[in-house]
Amino acid sequence: MSKTRLALLVILSAWVLGSLGAAAKSSETQHALDGQNSELEETIGRELELFRSAQLSLQQALLIAERLHTGSRVVDISFDGESNPPVYRVKNIQKNQIWENAIDARTGSSNTDGKHALSVKDLEAEDRRNLLALRAVRKTMSDAVVVAERSTRGKAISGGLKSEDGTLFFVVVVDTADGLKQVLLEPPQVGGR
């Protein structure tokens, strides 16, 4: 991931968390942003403009990714306007393999090359725990995106997994009329709860 893309995701997260009334940004984050706010706002504005004009929705990209790897589950998806053309970056898990794909946001075509990117055993411990917890839930990222979009009346720009105090959540960032919103959804367990 490029440094610019990483910075953009950090800023988007800060904006999302700020819009939800979360704790103020740390002094390190604020210091890093001093004097760069207008440039970052322009970058974020361009990214959102590209996202809003994309032919393909995140939900459509999810369905394409699921068909690429039959029996897999999407664990992470995000819009990337920095690539040319803009794409949705998607990670699927199938058994113990993580597949990475880029789905063209205009055409829906994929860069699939038939090779897996990572083995689950090569991931950090927290990521492995999240994937293990995902096996115990019956809902999918696609379900979480539908709920998040309906509840906010917006359009999902990214989705992923987050664990808090041992509980797995789907995290979906949605572009709404009021700005970016982060939706945390706790999926029901396979055996019910």
What digits encode the pLDDT tens for the residues 32-86? 445 567 787 888 888 999 999 999 999 999 999 989 888 889 999 999 998 889 9
| Entry pTM | 0.75
Residue 186: CB atoms within 10 A of its CB come to: 14
Strand 167-176 to strand 155-164: parallel, antiparallel, or no bridges (unpaired)?
A: antiparallel
Asked if 119 and 97 touch (Cβ cutoff 8 Å), the reply is yes
pLDDT-derived band at 104 (thresholds 50, 70, 90) equals: very high
142 has a pLDDT exceeding 80: yes
Environment class of residue 33 by beta-carbon count within 10 Å: exposed (0-12), middle (13-18) or buried (19+)? middle
Please count the residues of the chain.
Answer: 193
Bigger pLDDT: 148 vs 27: 148
Mean per-residue pLDDT for 15-31? 35
How far, rounded to the nearest angstrom, does the alpha carbon of residue 8 sit from its chain's CA centroid? 13
- DSSP states of 68-90: HSTT-EEEEEEEESSSSS-EEEE
